[in-house]
């Protein structure tokens, strides 16, 4: 069950910074206490002014200046300390959410929008940080100022103060009504901004496809529609604020007029002196600014609450694959892999693997072939626990992979995918991906094994050459050889090759294939390939259909059998 959405969920993130917040609140109290003192001094100065007592007026002005100095010094301490705490809280929350996202299963990211996640980690958390900052450095002082000044007003004349409270409930109801609608508009607006961000991420990632299909006008139209929806949502929120401030301001103006009438009445009855009424008016003037701030801040808090909802919505999501309590570190393995009656589905009504059993021996190369959607990639994705099967178990060297830590498991499994993912950084950093510190000599040796050293050396900065986002500066064959070098440096006992040469030209394929053969030596290898020419030298070929193993044998044995594999082979080489 999801917890109730509120700012109270942020309390665990405030506790580590309580000392900074406490110091800020001390400054806030000093800042607030100065307001009624200034109101009282203002009344005295008005009296001196009326009497023409210049000397007393000058002394009083000096005292006022001193109080102002102390107040502004306290305001500086309050603002600077709270900015420090709010930024630290936002940083802690951002790191916590990012770490949590790293723990979620692949299935979550397959159905999520990258732009939406990016927006939550940036804009939403920034808005939460701003709201926290506002609470302590603006809202809290405003509330304390209202309490202190209002207390002074009661002290001066409780009858007048009680009469002026007639409009307070109306102000409260009006602000609350506007705030709830601001929350609704903010949620809608932030969701639309996330959609717009997702669209941009999607289009910029596939810009080559957009160019290839001359789809620029189509994408411009799509962007225009999303941008218009975003504009309309933001305008609704701006319109609400445009209505709110005049409405609240008008009600406040009426209360000031009422105050003047009632004040004149109190003076006429002798319950209030002119000097006291002067102090009272100054005190009322001191309420204008905090009320305006509270009205504005209330809207911002409602906008921030929408961000809190969106952030904790991520934190409520539970990882699909978790380490069991007391998971052990998997020692260096020989590479014996067993699938024991494994069944798996993404959708209950569409099973992907059905009671599949398989034994791979150390150093054996096993090729998985079959039609698209047969379950080949899913089969190998279960090995590093990207997903967990619904039935059966997978063992490495006789150890159930659910009994070991994820890190120790995945550090012994190398993967060379069909489409290599490279990150912004140097070539060396991409080969040594996941290692904070690495030996450049080991990186170079891995590149040599992967047939990558020659082309890397041709770059002006060699291994320190910048790759560019998603490796745009490299060809497909070059990126694939960097992926192989990455696997060589990891030195895994188990290797997964998922269509590792399917997207390459013949020259690049030859270089990559040669590198793969070096990488495969003395390792347990699972090879997925639609091009059967790449699997002929495998020790064993398994034909997978509808999540079940229907044939097993060497290339020659399966051709001689003349069944499914032979038909696949004939279709490709006729």
DSSP assignment of 92-118 equals: HHHHHHHHHHHHS-HHHHHTS-HHHHH
CA 23 – CA 43 distance, rounded (Å)? 32
Asked if residue 377 lies in contact with residue 551, where contact means CB atoms within 8 angstroms, the answer is no
CA 56 – CA 268 distance, rounded (Å)? 28
CA 17 – CA 7 distance, rounded (Å)? 16
The pLDDT of residue 2 is 47
Asked if residue 121 lies in contact with residue 113, where contact means CB atoms within 8 angstroms, the answer is no
Q: How far is CA 549 from the centre of its chain?
A: 41
Residue 380 belongs to what H/E stretch? helix 376-381
CA 456 – CA 307 distance, rounded (Å)? 45
End-to-end CA distance of the chain: 59
The pLDDT of residue 424 is 74
556: its two tokens: 């020659």
Give the CA distances from residue 249 to residues 181, 244, 255, 303, in Å, rounded to whole numbers and listed in that order: 19, 8, 10, 22
31: its two tokens: 């800042």
The pLDDT of residue 193 is 72
Crossing angle between the packed helical segments 54-103 and 125-134, to the nearest 10 degrees: 150
SS3 label, residue 188:
helix
573: its two tokens: 């080489």
Contacts of 161 (CB under 8 A, 6+ apart): 150, 153, 154
The pLDDT of residue 404 is 93
By CB neighbour count within 10 A (0-12 exposed, 13-18 middle, 19+ buried), where does 528 fall? buried
Q: What is the pLDDT along the chain (574 residues), one digit of tens a residue?
A: 444 447 788 888 888 998 998 898 898 888 888 877 887 777 777 777 777 777 877 888 888 888 889 988 988 888 888 888 888 888 899 888 888 888 888 778 878 777 788 888 888 888 888 888 877 777 777 787 778 877 877 887 777 777 666 666 666 666 667 766 766 776 677 677 777 777 777 677 666 566 666 677 777 887 788 888 878 877 777 777 777 767 766 766 677 677 777 777 777 777 767 667 777 777 777 776 777 677 677 767 777 787 888 888 888 888 888 888 989 999 999 999 999 999 998 887 788 899 999 999 998 989 998 888 888 889 999 999 988 999 999 999 999 999 999 989 988 998 888 777 787 788 898 888 878 788 889 989 888 888 888 888 888 888 888 886 666 667 778 888 888 888 888 888 898 888 766 655 666 667 777 777 777 888 898 988 777 766 877 889 999 888 888 888 888 888 888 888 888 878 776 5
SS3 label, residue 459:
coil
The pLDDT of residue 340 is 93
DSSP assignment of 474-500 equals: S-HHHHHHHHHHHHHHH--SEEEEEST
Q: Which residue matches tokens 């189509």?
A: 218
What does the pLDDT look like over 418-472, one tens digit per residue?
777 787 788 898 888 878 788 889 989 888 888 888 888 888 888 888 886 666 6
Closest alpha carbon to 387 in 340, 422, 343, 418: 343
Task: List the alpha helices (DSSP H) in 405-505.
Answer: 406-410, 427-431, 440-449, 453-457, 476-490
SS3 label, residue 368:
strand
Asked if residue 360 lies in contact with residue 526, where contact means CB atoms within 8 angstroms, the answer is yes
Residue 367 belongs to what H/E stretch? strand 365-369
SS3 label, residue 404:
strand
Phi, psi of 481, rounded to the nearest 5 degrees:
-70, -30
Closest alpha carbon to 542 in 415, 376, 388, 391: 376
Asked if residue 367 lies in contact with residue 535, where contact means CB atoms within 8 angstroms, the answer is yes
Asked if residue 564 lies in contact with residue 551, where contact means CB atoms within 8 angstroms, the answer is yes
266: its two tokens: 């109190």
The pLDDT of residue 409 is 92
Contacts of 380 (CB under 8 A, 6+ apart): 368, 496, 498, 526, 528
CA 323 – CA 437 distance, rounded (Å)? 26
Domains of the chain in start order, with CATH, are: 7-316 (1.20.1560.10), 337-573 (3.40.50.300)
């Amino acid at each position: 069950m999801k917890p109730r959405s509120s700012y109270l969920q942020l309390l665990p993130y405030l506790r580590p910074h309580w000392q900074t917040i406490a110091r800020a609140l001390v400054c806030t109290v000093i800042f607030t206490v100065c307001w009624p003192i200034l109101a009282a001094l203002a009344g005295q100065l008005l009296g001196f002014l009326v009497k023409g007592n210049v000397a007393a007026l000058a002394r009083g002005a000096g005292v006022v200046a001193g109080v102002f100095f102390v107040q502004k010094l306290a305001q500086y301490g309050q603002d600077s300390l709270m900015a420090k705490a709010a930024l630290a809280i936002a940083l802690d929350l951002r790191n916590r959410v990012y770490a949590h996202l790293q723990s979620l299963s692949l299935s979550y990211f397959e159905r999520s929008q990258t732009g939406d996640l990016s927006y939550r980690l940036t804009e939403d958390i920034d808005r939460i940080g701003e709201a926290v900052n506002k609470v302590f450095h603006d809202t809290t002082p405003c509330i304390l100022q209202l309490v202190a000044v209002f207390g002074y007003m009661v002290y001066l004349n409780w009858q007048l103060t009680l009469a002026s409270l007639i409009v307070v409930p109306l102000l409260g109801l009006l602000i609350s009504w506007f705030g709830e609608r601001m929350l609704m508009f903010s949620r809608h607006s932030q969701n639309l901004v996330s959609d717009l961000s997702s669209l941009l991420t999607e289009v910029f990632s596939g810009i080559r496809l957009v160019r290839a299909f001359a789809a620029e006008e189509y994408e411009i139209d799509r962007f225009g529609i999303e941008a218009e929806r975003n504009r309309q949502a933001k305008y609704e929120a701006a319109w609400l604020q445009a209505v709110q401030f005049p409405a609240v301001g008008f009600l406040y103006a009426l209360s000031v007029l009422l105050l003047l009438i009632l004040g004149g009445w109190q003076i006429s009855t002798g319950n209030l002196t002119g000097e006291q009424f002067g102090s009272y008016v100054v005190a009322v003037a001191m309420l204008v600014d905090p009320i305006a701030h509270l009205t504005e801040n209330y809207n911002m808090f409602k906008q921030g609450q929408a961000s809190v909802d969106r952030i904790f919505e991520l934190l409520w999501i539970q990882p699909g694959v978790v380490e069991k309590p007391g998971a052990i570190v998997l020692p260096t393995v020989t590479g014996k892999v067993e699938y024991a009656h494994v069944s798996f589905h993404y959708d209950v009504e569409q099973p992907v693997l059905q009671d599949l059993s398989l034994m791979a021996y150390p150093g054996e190369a096993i090729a998985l072939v079959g039609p698209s959607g047969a379950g080949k990639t899913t089969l190998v994705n279960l090995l590093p626990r990207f997903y967990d099967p619904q039935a059966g178990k997978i063992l490495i060297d006789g150890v159930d992979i659910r009994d070991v830590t994820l890190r120790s498991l995945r550090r012994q499994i190398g993967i060379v995918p069909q489409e290599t993912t490279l990150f912004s950084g140097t070539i060396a950093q991409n080969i040594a991906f996941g290692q904070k510190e690495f030996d450049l000599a080991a990186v170079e040796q891995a590149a040599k094994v992967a047939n990558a050293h020659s082309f890397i050396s041709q770059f002006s900065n060699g291994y320190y050459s910048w790759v560019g986002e998603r490796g745009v500066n490299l060809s497909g064959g070059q990126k694939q050889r960097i992926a192989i070098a990455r696997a060589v440096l990891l030195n895994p006992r188990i290797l997964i090759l998922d269509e590792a040469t399917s997207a390459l030209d013949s020259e690049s394929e030859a270089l990559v294939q040669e590198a793969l053969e070096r990488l495969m030596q003395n390792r347990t290898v699972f090879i997925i390939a639609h091009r059967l020419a790449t699997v002929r030298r495998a020790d064993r070929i398994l034909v997978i259909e509808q999540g079940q193993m229907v044939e097993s044998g060497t290339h020659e044995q399966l051709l001689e059998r003349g069944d499914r594999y032979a038909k696949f082979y004939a279709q490709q080489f006729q």
